[in-house]
Amino acid sequence: DSGVTQTPKHLITATGQRVTLRCSPRSGDLSVYWYQQSLDQGLQFLIQYYNGEERAKGNILERFSAQQFPDLHSELNLSSLELGDSALYFCASSVAKGSGTGELFFGEGSRLTVL
């Protein structure tokens, strides 16, 4: 158990809909990262937050947004869903913004299926 909790574990929805994925980081971790894992694209970095502020942005679509709340949990919002958004979405956390150890602790993922 990594200590990172993601909900829901599975989600099935229709094209055009909007969903919210939730992540609770490990106790004490200030950084939260979102990754998308799909069969054809591998593991893609989406966005990082540190203590409530956006720190780094990757290949995140404009239809997607995220935020980190004062209690440090994070949400990833996916809107106007398309078939190609079907993927496993991982949240990860780490203790600091720049310790350089590179150890991210991953949740078990939220599997999104868009029909």
Interaction site with another protein (CB under 8 A): 2, 4, 31, 33, 35, 42-43, 45, 48, 50, 55-56, 58, 90, 92, 94, 97-109
* Minimum CB–partner distance for residue 57 and another protein (Å): 9
Angle among Cα 91, 93, 96 to the nearest 5 degrees reads: 155
The smaller minimum CB distance to another protein, of residues 79 and 95, is found at: 95
* Minimum CB–partner distance for residue 97 and another protein (Å): 6
* Amino acid making up residue 89: Y
The smaller minimum CB distance to another protein, of residues 33 and 85, is found at: 33
55-79 as b/e: b if 16+ CB within 10 A: eeeeebeeebebebeeebebbbebe
The smaller minimum CB distance to another protein, of residues 6 and 78, is found at: 6
Question: Which of these, 9, 4, 7, lies nearest to 95 by C-alpha position?
Answer: 4
* Minimum CB–partner distance for residue 103 and another protein (Å): 5
- Cα-based torsion angle of the residue sequence 73, 75, 87, 30 in order, rounded to the nearest 10 degrees: -40
* Minimum CB–partner distance for residue 95 and another protein (Å): 10
The smaller minimum CB distance to another protein, of residues 80 and 113, is found at: 113
Question: Which of these, 23, 39, 21, 43, lies nearest to 31 by C-alpha position?
Answer: 23
